[in-house]
Structure 1
Amino acid sequence: MAYIGYDSGLRPPSGQTRSRPARSRFAWERLGLVAASALAWAGIIAAVRAIF
């Protein structure tokens, strides 16, 4: 996205390289959170089945 008054020739690579690892790290954290949540739900369901 272009910002008004932003010189695109100033530092485009540094901005792109900084934003991409942050996004990928956030994506990996989200993936880990979803996996942990799924494992927790599987454990809860297994515990309920074992009790009843």
Structure 2
Amino acid sequence: MRAEPGLTLTVHTAEPRSPSDEALGLLGSWAATGKAEERVRKTGAPAGPLGTD
């Protein structure tokens, strides 16, 4: 990446409606949940709907 020499961008895709697609969706939901929980710990604010954090 130009802005940050040495960084690499990796993209993972899966065939729609495949087991891999479902697994990537689950992994994404874990990441979103972790962000919401971190915000609650830092600010005391309630977590918003999935995808709003």
Aligned to 1:28: 20
The answer for unaligned runs of 5 or more in structure 1 is 1-23
Deviation (angstroms), 1:36:
0.1
The Cα shift of 1:27 comes to: 0.6
Equivalent in the alignment of 1:4: none
Structure 2 residue ranges without an equivalent (≥5): 1-13, 45-53
Instruction: Using the aligned pairs only, state the percent identity.
Output: 14
Q: Name segments (4+ residues, structure 1) moved above 3 Å.
A: none
Q: TM-score, normalised by structure 1?
A: 0.50
Q: Which has the larger radius of gyration?
A: 1
Q: Which residue of 1 aligns with 2:34?
A: 42
Alpha-carbon RMSD across the aligned residues, in angstroms, is 1.6
More helix by share: 1
Task: Provide the C-alpha distance between the structure 2 equivalents of 1:27 and 1:50, rounded to a whole number of angstroms.
Answer: 35
Q: How many residues align structurally? A: 29
Q: Using structure 2 for the length normalisation, give the TM-score.
A: 0.49
